[in-house]
């Protein structure tokens, strides 16, 4: 069984937010909902300061607190490591959101009527990716954030993984910040990326075992100038 | 004679055999090929069931008599043996399926030299592509072609998994001079709603005879003149795909057509939310309303008939709420009914709009809110009061605090009502309250890890026990009053099913054990499950830690005792029960309350010290917000009022000579308010200050909807309490058995306590 994980190379990121945009388009998330977010922060103090960027998808923790506290099992972890929300089962208590140290949950405070860039008006969603209507492993987990009163969050693009494609953020990054794949396979892209560089995980001390690794070591400038083959959308495991 | 019979039989048989001949060999529906091997049995041909047959042609539109090339590809199946492929015009395995029967002419078959519709290859390698060239029929119309794979061995059925085949449109569209139709609006795959205008442009060299509009294959209208426009009301069709087809005929009989698909996307008619939640809420409201109206509309009982037992004057005083209702009573009822109606309306509008109507938002980016708000604050507060209420009642029973007995039932009713309201508050907070049954449905999978599920379990258990406890202890009174209060006889009779004169002793034993269970549960629930909802969440700074258990328990007990004091004091004044609810009830409860409040402050000190001293930065920030930041205006007044409450409650009656019940009541009210605000300071600041400090500090301002609904639960609680008082005795009324000699020896203790508890008139 694969165990999906992601590595995010902060030294490569230039803060273009293509991942944020790709996620919103792919998952049709409404306004105010950012399953992928990009932090922009300053490191150090003037004059020795540097602008850094950090992408934040759901961390898909191995020991996910949100899965533990869910009273109905709507938030669950699949065998392949994805932490998903069953929109058909969620009762909207928001306990998962409260228990998540990473703030990746987005509740549907109302029927979605607007996305970030386009007002849908009273008609509702003008276009919905039909892949989101498919039940994966028998549960309505893809898409989400389209039904008032239930929780939604990053799914690692479960609908794309089903087709053998990488998550939208990974596939759309122009500078190859993301690597994605099977953490249990030492030869997978992501395992190699993690093995090659210094890395950390968010709030590791809370024991949630996030499956998103941040690679922080600075790159050799020559390495950075190499063209990056970003067109490879298919997932290789 | 015989010969003529044989001839007759032969004459009949020959055509039958001739007609059946194509069915008896391998060419079912096909014409022959040069390489036939019919007799090899099933093993020599490809096992076709796993083969995949596909067909293609460069264009599906051909002129009459035009030439067509059809490519048939077969893949899969076991490779090696012989494969037979045929091209047919229909799926029925008889000679009418030959393409020639449908008007096609085969000009070349895959062999290149023949014109057969059947072709056999002797060695199939798992993938083959064959080509036929045909000439189209000479009349307009749709002409399908199918490819079939044949199994060997004579009469076996043909096989193909390409049922669709290819459908050729012969004539129309392909002929010069036929009308050319285009649908200008709407565009293909457009999302449409309400009434749309379908407009088509038709170009033709000959005059147009008429144009048809078909929707989903049904002719809706025809027009013979410009403009070729139709208004279509899409609300008459189901949401989803809808095909629109415009076909134009010219005076020569040639026609052209255009078909598009649109997505009908009409907003769903706003459905009344008539799920079980509303039915339940409506049902309860209606029942309560009817009961209330029935009680008030009832005529005052006539003088009881001769011989019926009468109430003593003491009992009349104790039953004052049942016997007469004055104007303030009606006013309270009307007010609380109005409040309930407003509550239901607010809840309805909240469900229609979604929780956007509250001040709660996602924490973190970009909304910077708090996912929980004053619903949760109020929930903890209500549960706290419920615990305090039941702990008073249970202690009175278990530890035989006889002087407090008059307030015992008030405390029990308070507990039941507050628990119901706590459950209601959780329902209000849910985004999908109609799915609350999921908690039970998936109970066993989540009970191991979800504090929410633990909470539900204990609250249900607790409600059941409290109601049972209240009910059991009331049975004796109900039996006594059944004949003395004729207007309630029907309710009491229903509630007294299975009543026996001698059940008192057993009931007392049962309720003693229930009381003990409740005492244990209070420690478990208020000292356990409710704080665990918070204290186990490592993600929220300020919640995580072991202090929450005792901290919450003390708060629960304090607010419970405070509310019993307030209610007892109001009852005492309104119904002039000074001689039944004695002063010592207040002094005693007040003392305990004062000490509890002090213990609470002691816990506050521990908590704040820990958060201030070398704590993680977020904890530090939360503590700062409380002590010196924006919450200081709430925090310090709470500390001050709790200190004041301690001082006043302990000094009243000792330092101050004159004990004032009013003073105690006001202090208790202050404590109740202070604890509500303190709960706010527990829930909200932690959610506002995210553990991941890249996030901004959030904001939370409760909206009118939230305030309305939270006060709505208080109003409903008041209504239920009033309703209880109007139907059941809120004080124990039954006088003790007068002669101890009539009772058994084992009852004597009980007698004595009964004697103590019922005041002598």
User: For B275-330, what is each residue's pLDDT tens digit?
Assistant: 666 778 888 888 888 887 877 766 555 554 444 567 777 777 788 888 877 888 88
Query: What does the pLDDT look like over A185-213, one tens digit per residue?
Result: 999 989 998 988 888 898 888 899 999 99
B-chain CB neighbours of A151 within 8 Å are 431
B residues 396..455 contacting A (CB < 8 A): 426, 429-433, 435-436, 438-439, 441-442, 445-446, 449-453
pLDDT of residue B1: 56
Which candidate from A37, A71, A202 shows the least CB-CB separation from B453? A71
Residue A231: inside a domain, yes or no?
no
The larger pLDDT score, comparing residue B273 to residue B163, is at B163
pLDDT score for B382:
94
Residue B13 near chain A (CB below 8 Å): no
- Taking 3-state DSSP, the helix, strand and coil percentages for chain A, each rounded to the nearest 5, stand at 20, 20, 60
pLDDT reading at B269 higher than 60: no
Note whether A149 contacts B538, CB cutoff 8 Å.
Answer: no
CB contacts < 8 A, A to B, total 146
User: Given an 8 Å threshold on Cβ–Cβ distance, is A73 in contact with B445?
Assistant: yes
- Choose among A37, A73, A100: nearest Cβ to B442: A73
Determine, yes or no, domain membership for A83: yes
Mean per-residue pLDDT, B116-140 = 82
Ordered by where they begin, the domains of chain B are 24-170 (2.60.40.10), 180-264 (2.60.40.10), 365-490+518-702 (1.20.1630.10)
Check residue A234 and give its pLDDT.
72
A60 confidence band (pLDDT: 50, 70, 90): very high
pLDDT at site B711: 94
Statement: residue B48 has pLDDT above 80: no
Instruction: Give CA angle at B746 (B744, B748), nearest 5°.
Output: 80
- Is A237 part of any domain? no
Q: Which two tokens stand for residue B550?
A: 């005792």
pLDDT for B709 equals 94
pLDDT band at B21 (very low <50, low <70, confident <90, very high): very low
Distance CA(B119)–CA(B123), nearest Å, equals 12
* B439 → closest Cβ in A37, A68, A71: A71
And the tokens for B158? 């043909």
Please state, in angstroms and rounded to a whole number, the distance separating the CA atoms of residues B86 and B88.
6
Q: Which residue in the set A70, A94, A101 is minimally distant from B372, CB to CB?
A: A94
Q: Which of A169-173, B119-123, B154-158, B536-540 comes out lowest in average pLDDT?
A: B154-158
Edge-to-edge strands, sheet with B255-264: B191-192, B255-264, B240-250, B208-215, B218-223
Residues 343 through 362 of chain B touching chain A, CB cutoff 8 Å: 353-356, 360-362
Within-domain flag for A77: yes
CA-based end-to-end distance of chain B: 131
Stated as kind and residue range, the H or E segment containing B221 is: strand B218-223
* pLDDT value at B38 more than 60: no
**CB-based contacts of B79: which residues, under 8 Å, 6+ apart?**
B46, B124, B125, B126
Residue A232: inside a domain, yes or no? no
How confident is residue B751, by pLDDT bands cut at 50, 70 and 90? very low
Tens of pLDDT, residue by residue over B468-497, are 999 988 888 888 888 888 778 888 888 888
Q: Given this model, what pLDDT does residue A228 score?
A: 55
The pLDDT of residue A229 = 55
In 3D, which of B213, B216, B220, B217 has the Cα closest to residue B199?
Answer: B213
**Taking the CB of residue B394, how many other CB atoms lie within 10 A of it?**
28
CB contact under 8 A, B439 and A70: no
List the one residue out of B494, B495, B525 whose CA is nearest residue B418: B525
In a domain, A172, yes or no: yes
Q: Give the count of domains, chain A.
A: 1
Domain with A119, as residue range(s), is: 4-225
Question: DSSP alpha helices (H): ranges in A43-188?
Answer: 65-69, 95-99, 158-161, 168-172
Domain-embedded: residue A236:
no
What integer pLDDT is reported at residue B567 of this predicted model?
93
pLDDT at residue number B339: 92
Does B539 contact A99 at a Cβ distance shorter than 8 Å? yes
The residue that leads in pLDDT, A122 or B398, is B398
* Predicted pLDDT at B156: 52
Share of chain B above pLDDT 90, in %: 24
Chain B, residues 519-548, CB within 8 A of chain A, namely 537-540
What is the sign of the dihedral through the CA atoms of B625, B626, B628 and B630?
positive
CATH number at residue A139: 3.30.70.20
CA distance B337 to B490: 25
Q: Which residue has the higher pLDDT, B432 or B745?
A: B432
d(CA B27, CA B156): 10
CA neighbor of A28 nearest in space, from A153, A159, A128: A128
Residues of A in contact with B687 (CB under 8 A): 98
> Distance from A226 to chain B by nearest Cα, in Å?
31
Cα–Cα distance measured from residue B308 to residue A218, given in angstroms and rounded to the nearest whole number? 97
With respect to residue A150, please indicate whether it lies within any of the assigned structural domains. Answer: yes
């Amino acid at each position: 069984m694969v165990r999906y994980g992601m590595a995010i190379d902060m030294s490569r990121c230039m803060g273009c937010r293509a991942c944020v945009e790709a996620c919103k388009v792919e998952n049709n998330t409404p306004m105010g909902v950012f399953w992928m977010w990009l932090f922009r922060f300053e490191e150090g103090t003037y004059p020795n300061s540097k602008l850094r960027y950090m992408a934040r998808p759901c961390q898909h923790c191995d020991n996910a607190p949100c899965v533990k506290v869910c009273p109905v099992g709507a938030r669950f972890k699949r065998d392949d490591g994805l932490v998903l929300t069953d929109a058909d089962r969620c009762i909207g208590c928001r306990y998962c959101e409260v228990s998540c140290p990473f703030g990746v949950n987005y509740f549907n405070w109302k029927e979605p009527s607007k996305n970030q860039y386009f007002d849908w008006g009273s008609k509702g969603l003008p276009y919905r990716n039909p892949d989101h209507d498919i039940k994966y492993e028998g549960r309505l987990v893809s898409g989400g954030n389209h039904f008032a009163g239930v929780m939604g969050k990053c799914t690692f693009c479960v609908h794309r993984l089903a087709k053998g494609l990488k998550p939208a953020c990974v596939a759309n990054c122009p500078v190859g910040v993301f690597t994605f794949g099977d953490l249990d396979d030492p030869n997978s892209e992501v395992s190699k990326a993690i093995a090659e560089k210094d890395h950390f995980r968010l709030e590791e001390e809370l024991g949630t075992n996030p499956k998103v690794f941040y690679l922080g070591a600075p790159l050799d400038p020559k390495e950075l100038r190499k063209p990056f083959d970003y067109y490879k959308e298919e997932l290789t495991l | 004679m015989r010969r003529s019979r044989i001839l007759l039989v032969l004459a009949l048989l020959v055509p039958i055999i001739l007609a059946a001949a194509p069915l008896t060999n391998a060419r079912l529906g096909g014409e022959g090929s040069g390489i036939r091997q019919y007799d090899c049995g099933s093993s020599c041909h490809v096992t076709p069931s796993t083969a995949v047959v596909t067909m293609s042609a460069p264009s599906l539109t051909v002129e009459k008599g035009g030439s067509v090339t059809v490519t048939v590809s077969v893949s899969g199946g076991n490779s090696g043996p012989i494969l037979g492929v045929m091209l047919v015009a229909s799926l029925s395995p008889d000679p009418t399926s030959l393409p020639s029967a449908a008007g096609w002419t085969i000009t070349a078959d895959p062999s290149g030299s023949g014109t057969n519709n059947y072709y056999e290859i002797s060695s199939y390698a798992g993938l083959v592509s064959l080509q036929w060239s045909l000439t189209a029929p000479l009349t307009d119309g749709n002409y399908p072609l199918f490819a079939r794979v044949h199994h060997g061995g004579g009469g076996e059925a043909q096989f193909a998994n390409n049922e669709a085949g290819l459908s050729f449109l012969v004539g129309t569209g392909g002929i010069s001079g036929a009308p050319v139709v285009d649908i200008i609006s709407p565009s293909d795959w457009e999302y449409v709603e309400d009434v749309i205008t379908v407009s088509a442009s038709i170009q033709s060299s000959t005059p147009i005879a008429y144009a048809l509009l078909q929707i989903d294959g049904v002719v809706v209208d025809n027009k013979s003149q410009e403009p070729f426009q139709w208004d279509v009301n899409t609300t008459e069709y189901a949401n989803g795909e809808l095909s629109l087809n415009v076909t134009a005929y010219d005076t020569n009989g040639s026609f052209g057509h255009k078909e598009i698909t649109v997505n009908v996307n009409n907003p769903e008619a706003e459905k009344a939310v008539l799920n079980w939640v509303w039915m339940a809420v409506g049902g309860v409201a209606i029942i309560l309303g009817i009961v209330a109206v029935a009680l008030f509309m009832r005529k005052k009982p006539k003088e009881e008939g001769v011989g019926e037992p009468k109430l003593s004057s003491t009992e009349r005083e104790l039953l004052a709420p049942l016997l007469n209702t004055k104007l303030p009573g009606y006013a309270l009822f009307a007010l609380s009914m109005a409040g309930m109606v407003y509550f239901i309306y607010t809840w309805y509008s909240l469900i229609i709009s979604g929780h956007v109507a509250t001040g709660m938002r996602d924490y973190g980016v970009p909304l910077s809110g708090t996912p929980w708000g004053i619903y949760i604050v109020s929930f903890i507060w209500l549960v706290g009061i419920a615990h305090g209420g039941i702990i008073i009642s249970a202690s009175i029973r278990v530890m035989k605090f006889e002087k407090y007995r008059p307030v015992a039932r008030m405390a029990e009713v308070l507990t039941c009502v507050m628990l119901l309201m706590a459950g209601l508050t959780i329902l209000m907070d849910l985004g999908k309250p109609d799915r609350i049954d999921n908690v039970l449905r998936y109970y066993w999978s989540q009970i191991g890890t979800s504090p929410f599920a633990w909470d539900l379990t204990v609250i249900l258990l607790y409600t059941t026990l409290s109601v049972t406890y209240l009910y059991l202890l009331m049975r004796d009174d109900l039996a006594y009053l059944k004949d003395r209060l004729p207007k309630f006889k029907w309710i009491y009779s229903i509630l007294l099913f299975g009543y026996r004169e001698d059940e008192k002793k057993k009931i007392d034993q049962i309720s003693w054990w229930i009381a003990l269970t409740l005492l244990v549960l209070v420690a478990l629930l208020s000292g356990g499950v409710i704080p665990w909802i918070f204290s186990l969440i490592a993600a929220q700074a300020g919640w995580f830690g072991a202090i929450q258990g005792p901290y919450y328990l003390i708060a629960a007990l304090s607010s419970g005792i405070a509310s019993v004091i307030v209610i007892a004091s109001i009852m005492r004044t309104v119904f002039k029960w000074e001689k039944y609810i004695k002063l010592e009830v207040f002094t005693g409860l007040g003392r305990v309350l004062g000490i509890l409040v002090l213990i609470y402050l002691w816990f506050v000190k521990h908590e704040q010290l820990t958060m201030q001293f070398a704590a993680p930065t977020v904890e530090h920030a939360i503590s700062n917000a409380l002590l010196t930041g924006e919450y200081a205006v709430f925090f310090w007044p709470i500390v001050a009022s709790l200190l004041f409450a301690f001082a006043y409650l302990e000094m009243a009656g000792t330092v101050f000579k004159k004990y004032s019940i009013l003073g105690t009541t006001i202090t208790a009210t202050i404590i109740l308010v202070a604890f509500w605000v303190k709960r706010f300071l527990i829930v909200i600041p932690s959610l506002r200050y995210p553990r991941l400090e890249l996030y901004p500090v959030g904001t939370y301002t409760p909206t009118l909807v939230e305030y309305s609904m939270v006060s709505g639960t208080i109003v409903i609680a008041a209504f239920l309490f009033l309703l209880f008082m109007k139907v059941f005795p809120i004080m124990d009324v039954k006088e003790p058995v007068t002669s101890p000699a009539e009772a058994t020896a084992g009852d004597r203790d009980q007698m004595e306590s009964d004697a103590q508890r019922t005041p002598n008139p």
